[in-house]
Structure 1
Amino acid sequence: MFKVYDSKVIVMMLRSAERELKFLHREVEIRHDPFVENFNMTLAQPHSKSVRLNGLATCLRLENVYWNILSGIASSNECSVKEALQ
């Protein structure tokens, strides 16, 4: 049902998606620094979760923004984050 990915592959996929989004929105003119007023620093803090990848228990440490992305992927597949990673 789901493809099995190594945690490093997942991080690379997330970074690639982030770069693609930045590329798509690069034409937007920024009139103020969004990091000063609106950036939520809790999204940049790393958070660890224990998961099983390929049957092995491991700990993934990702920034909260990436956990939110994984949560969205899992939600769209109607499963948990742990199930989506397997």
Structure 2
Amino acid sequence: MTDAPVTLEKLRADIAAMLEEAPAAIGDDDNLMDFGLDSMRAMNLLLQWEEEGVPLDFGDIAETPTLSGLWALVQARQQGASS
């Protein structure tokens, strides 16, 4: 677990790397499933983020399959963890 908060740019970069896309190609409101984020890739990202102190689960990605949706969840959970 790291002490540094996860940023929107890091989320975008992690997702882009998993999908073999340029980070700039992924817009905040693009559906990540349309980019090829399948369940196996999503689980790998979730494990990576959990190790970095961001507790998300597969339901979070299924319900909010956009970068902006995930970012809102990450922000809320990071703020809750620091309170």
Shorter-chain TM-score above 0.5: no
Could you say which TM-score interval applies, normalised by the shorter chain?
0.3 to 0.5
Which TM-score applies when normalising by structure 1? 0.35
Q: Which has the higher helix share?
A: 2
Which has the greater radius of gyration? Answer: 1
Give the structure, 1 or 2, with the largest relative contact order (CA under 8 Å, sep 6 or more): 2
Q: Which has the higher strand share?
A: 1
